[in-house]
Structure 1
Amino acid sequence: MGHRNPLVRTALAAIMLVVLPSLTAAQMSHQHASEAACEETDLHCATKVTPAFAPDGTLWLAWMAGGHISVASSKDQGATLSTPVQVTRERLNLDWGPDARPKLAIDAKGDIALAFSIFRDRAFNGQVLTTRSSDGGRSFDPPKPITASNESQRFETIGFDPSGAVFAAWLDKRNRVPAQQRGEKYDGAALFVATSKDGGRSYSDAKLVADNTCECCRLALAFDGAGRPVVVFRNIFEGGVRDHAIVTFSDLATPGEVHRVSRDDWQIAACPHHGPSLSISPAGTYHVTWYTNGKARKGLFYAQSRDGGKTFSDPLPIGQANRSPSRPQIAAGPQGLVMVWKEFDGQKTTVNLMMSRDDGATWSKPAPIADTADSSDHPLLVSDRRHTYLSWMTKADGYHFQAIGSEP
């Protein structure tokens, strides 16, 4: 560490609970931006950047650029980055879909599990690849498929449970052809899971959780207070309705009952490419944000569950409908709940913020905290033991990483 990365200049802005628009002038700026035709593997060429904090407070970034996956770490909340390590050894046709990105998780020893997907053909059939580092991110094992199935897999998500096991979930189309051979209609894909007890070196056989899920939206994963995985996904309900569902596992391999998050009645025979976000607070409350274009409601929404996902509160609309709100993210951090999303006013894209200090009962007024005049990645949230941070990659202004604070 200590190597100052010339591609990133980070300012940490503490945002008060009631954020004033004038504070946006304090956001960081960058001399190096992400360029559309950039073929290098460095961070300034990245289209997708994923952050994660290790238990010791080290920030890790994984990104896609130049057909490769790379990682770097920071001991000072992103002010300086280590020399990047290239995870992949050859240029790959990485899954560039709107909801696709590399995923990484770090255990208590500093070992890293990483997963990403590639396109195997022009029909967008995918394959989920996994790798791990057992030397603190200095090197990674050769990536290999998470499952032996040759059918399409995409939209993976991974995380370490409290015992140190890796839990992985993804969308998988292996049940499509057998159903068609039986003369049955098969819509979408299926939610599959697997686990690794060796830090991501090998995974168990894939296990089916739910059939007929929407095939093109990211999954949301969190662990409850007992360390049980909870997954939110866009399901295909009766009549082709693509609303969100949630499942809580009783252990790493045993899914519980699938429950509906809300009844938006979005009937669509197409891919929304717009997945949900999930966070579980210390009180055990499930907090979910999502996008819908249904008959019952349209736009971004938030709801909470205080009974383990069995029932949810009435959806709360988020953002200004006339500014195309999108990509909501929610995180239960050290200073309460943080929610961010993007809006577009016709000229610039703005990341907006709301916060709650009472477990989602009330929220602060929306306020802008960052903006850009060109294309950008999803705004992401990541927390250490002190703060929640916004991570946002933009084409015109480079990579943003900033602290989000609250009133004392």
Structure 2
Amino acid sequence: MKKWIAPAAALMLWQAPVLAHDMRSHAGEAGCAEVTLACATKVTPAFGPDGKLWIAMLAGGNVAVAASTDGGRNFTKPVAVTDQKLDMDWGPDARPKIVIDKHGDLIVAFSTFRDKAFNGEVFTTRSTDGGASFAPIRPITPSNISQRFEALALDTDGTVFAAWLDKRNRAPAKKKGEAYDGAALFFATSKDGAVYSQAQLAHDNTCECCRLGVAFAGHGHPVVIFRNIFNGGVRDHAIVTFSDLNTPGQIHRVSNDDWKVNACPHQGPSLSIAPGGTYHATWYTNGKNRQGLFYARSTDGGATFSDPVAIGDSAHNPARAFVLATAKDTYLAWKEFDGEKTTVRMMQSADDGKTWSEPKTVAATADSSDHPLLVSDGHTVFLSWMTKKDGYHFQPVGQGT
């Protein structure tokens, strides 16, 4: 099993028992000011149509991209996507996003902090010259309230679908004397990755501090999984399938965990949709009905989900699960922390998520680390994992076809 490794920087988080093994990306606290992979704290991979591997990284207080043509063993010199240092969103679930369209153009999105109250702003930019330079960054929406936790996905025709959490509806509700919890799920689309449509509301009163999962269930049908706020302040997960790029469908509950909490879990879900249409979802909860990491599948377009399956060893703080479904198998990766070292554990399903292999360790580090991510070039499934002590892991872990 091959992997390429380079040094990086560190993080500690408020939710110590579960998240103390994550990396800190607050530029002032990371202690590494260079825009290099060695200084990266968050790394997001994506393959282009030509098979080239690209990564978007948060490093030295900036967002930058780099490319590899040898399976992640070597990368080009990073190119910054901004011409100035910004107050990057360093929250546990925040990270730069990257997709590459059919023309090879790079589309990047990231969020910054507007103020010390953690109100954010999402910016986008693109490169039309193979990552050599980037257009000036633009806000994804004119609203100057707060946007965070953006997610990008490409439709089969190259249309960019973007979703994020937005607080613009909070002040008007309070002005009317109405209670308003959390934020809202907003979305927009772009034909070229440069100009986005007017932002639209998909669902109000969502949890305001967890990443989103986005995938496509066929052409023109984006699907978003998110932590919702149900009646009584219960922060369980929900999913919405769009009937077209502009029309969100009905909200369905992924699982009844009954996690009633007036706080930010800072740990969102992941979603992957198999070529055959099965939805695969993972999430974290500390609810009344269940606690820990879980997986479930849906074969009816997200209307209902299977009984949740627990992921990982509860004695080792399992966290940050990520699922990827390919034409052949389905893969699950997550982190565990035993008090001394962090391991990335994996399971594999050969029957569309009905049954799973025994967990196995595929990577480990004795220091802090980023979230484990999975990505496929259509032939091979790779683990992407940034660590402080051992650098960047990019290694094959399965077959994509």
TM norm structure 1:
0.91
Partner SS, residue 140 of structure 1: coil
Partner SS, residue 171 of structure 2: helix
**Which residue pairs with 2:160 in the alignment?**
166
1:335 CA drift (Å): 3.7
| 1:48-68 C-alpha deviation (Å, 9 max, x unpaired) | 000001122111000001111
> For 1:9-408, what aligned pairs fall within 5 Å after superposition?
12-13=1-2, 28=3, 30=5, 32-34=7-9, 36-197=30-191, 199-405=192-398
1:29 CA drift (Å): 6.7
Gaps of 5+ in 1: 1-11, 14-27
Partner SS, residue 99 of structure 2: strand
Q: In 2, Cα distance between the equivalents of 1:29 and 1:394?
A: 12
Q: In 2, Cα distance between the equivalents of 1:160 and 1:139?
A: 21
1:31 CA drift (Å): 5.6
**Which residue pairs with 2:20 in the alignment?**
none
CA-based RMSD = 1.4
Q: In 2, Cα distance between the equivalents of 1:342 and 1:381?
A: 13
Alignment check: 8 A CA contact 1:34 1:397 kept:
no
Q: In 2, Cα distance between the equivalents of 1:186 and 1:295?
A: 24
1:229 CA drift (Å): 0.5
| 1:15-48 C-alpha deviation (Å, 9 max, x unpaired) | xxxxxxxxxxxxx474634364111110110110
Q: In 2, Cα distance between the equivalents of 1:359 and 1:177?
A: 44
Gaps of 5+ in 2: 11-29
| 1:251-303 C-alpha deviation (Å, 9 max, x unpaired) | 11110101000000000000000000000011100000000000000000000
Q: In 1, Cα distance between the equivalents of 2:257 and 2:5?
A: 40
Partner SS, residue 76 of structure 2: coil
Q: In 1, Cα distance between the equivalents of 2:218 and 2:139?
A: 30
| 1:109-134 C-alpha deviation (Å, 9 max, x unpaired) | 10111100000111111000000111
Q: In 2, Cα distance between the equivalents of 1:159 and 1:176?
A: 27
Q: In 1, Cα distance between the equivalents of 2:129 and 2:399?
A: 36
Alignment check: 8 A CA contact 1:334 1:387 kept:
no
Aligned residue identity for 2:372 = P
1:227 CA drift (Å): 4.2
* Equivalent pairs, count: 382
Q: In 2, Cα distance between the equivalents of 1:136 and 1:227?
A: 27
Q: In 2, Cα distance between the equivalents of 1:248 and 1:203?
A: 20
1:135 CA drift (Å): 1.4
Runs of 4+ in 1 over 6 A off after TM superposition: none
Q: In 1, Cα distance between the equivalents of 2:200 and 2:4?
A: 45
1:405 CA drift (Å): 2.4
Alignment check: 8 A CA contact 1:350 1:369 kept:
yes
Aligned residue identity for 2:161 = F
